[in-house]
Amino acid sequence: MTAHPPSNALHWVAGAAWATLLGSYLVMVTATGSTPFDVLGMVVRFLVEHPLGPVLYALVCVVRPLFVFSSTVLTIGAGHLYGPVLGMLVVTLGQNTGAVLAYGLAYWFGAEIAGRALEHPRLRGLAARLRRNAFETVLTLRFVFTPYDVVNYSAGALRLPLRQFVAGNVLGSLAGSMTFLLFGASVGDLSVLAEGLWPSLDPRTLAGSAVLLTVSLLASRAVRRRAAAAGAAE
């Protein structure tokens, strides 16, 4: 009898997480007769007004990889709810802890499949180079805006050194996180969406986000060129 690959557990964990979230939402809507906008309003009010709101938001960021939900959306939301300063603290703690969680899941459940794929000599050599330069690899991938979970799960499956992964992840994510935090902070009252209107935007904060995004893209281009030159030389 053939055993299922350990990595299938990731699919079951993600499915269970989504089922729990959807079930909780349906129970709330059925019990209260609320509309989606009502539910959104209740959640936003709790996150903003309750003293534990930022802590809960950080915990959502931690478990986000289980739902395979966009980290960008949560970062924008943190900027909108808490502003760039507190939002940065919430996102930095939550997202980086969640990145370690994703790394750990892939380390334990994804290494077998990664090991099979890396039996090819060229891929085995590439994986060895990545492990030797783990910090630079993760830092570069963050600078060039590689999808967040792709980096986290790949680093775990390839078993990159944890300390170098964390350091590269924290430093490499700062510019991107602040870009999206500023964008979220520029968005006005979202309650007008229920009336069919678009929220207002703070032009100064939005301009700051645009400038930071431009600088990040230029920096990522320089990093890609340097990485390509180093790879060609090697």
pLDDT tens digits for 193-207?
A: 666 667 778 888 889
- Tell me the residue length of the chain: 234
Domains contained in the chain, number: 1
* Tokens at 2, concatenated: 């053939």
Nearest in space to 88 (alpha carbons), one of 155, 8, 176, 160:
176
For residue 88, what pLDDT is reported? 93
Kindly state whether residue 83 falls inside one of the protein's structural domains.
yes
Task: Tell me the backbone φ, ψ of residue 201, rounded to 5 degrees.
Answer: -125, 140
Kindly state whether residue 161 falls inside one of the protein's structural domains.
yes
Task: Give the pLDDT band (50/70/90) at residue 95.
Answer: very high
Kindly state whether residue 3 falls inside one of the protein's structural domains.
no
Kindly state whether residue 2 falls inside one of the protein's structural domains.
no
Phi-psi region of 207 (alpha: psi -120 to 50; beta: other; left: phi over 0): alpha
CB 175 within 8 A of CB 216: yes
Kindly state whether residue 222 falls inside one of the protein's structural domains.
yes
List of residues 6+ apart from 109 with CB closer than 8 A: 6, 7, 9, 10
Kindly state whether residue 66 falls inside one of the protein's structural domains.
yes
From first CA to last CA, the distance across the chain in angstroms is 45
Full domain range(s) for residue 116: 8-233
Kindly state whether residue 1 falls inside one of the protein's structural domains.
no
CA atoms within 13 A on the CB side of 179: 17
Task: Give the pLDDT band (50/70/90) at residue 3.
Answer: very low
* Tokens at 187, concatenated: 């968005």
For residue 17, what pLDDT is reported? 64
Kindly state whether residue 94 falls inside one of the protein's structural domains.
yes
Task: Tell me the backbone φ, ψ of residue 123, rounded to 5 degrees.
Answer: -70, -35
Residue 122 has pLDDT above 60, yes or no: no
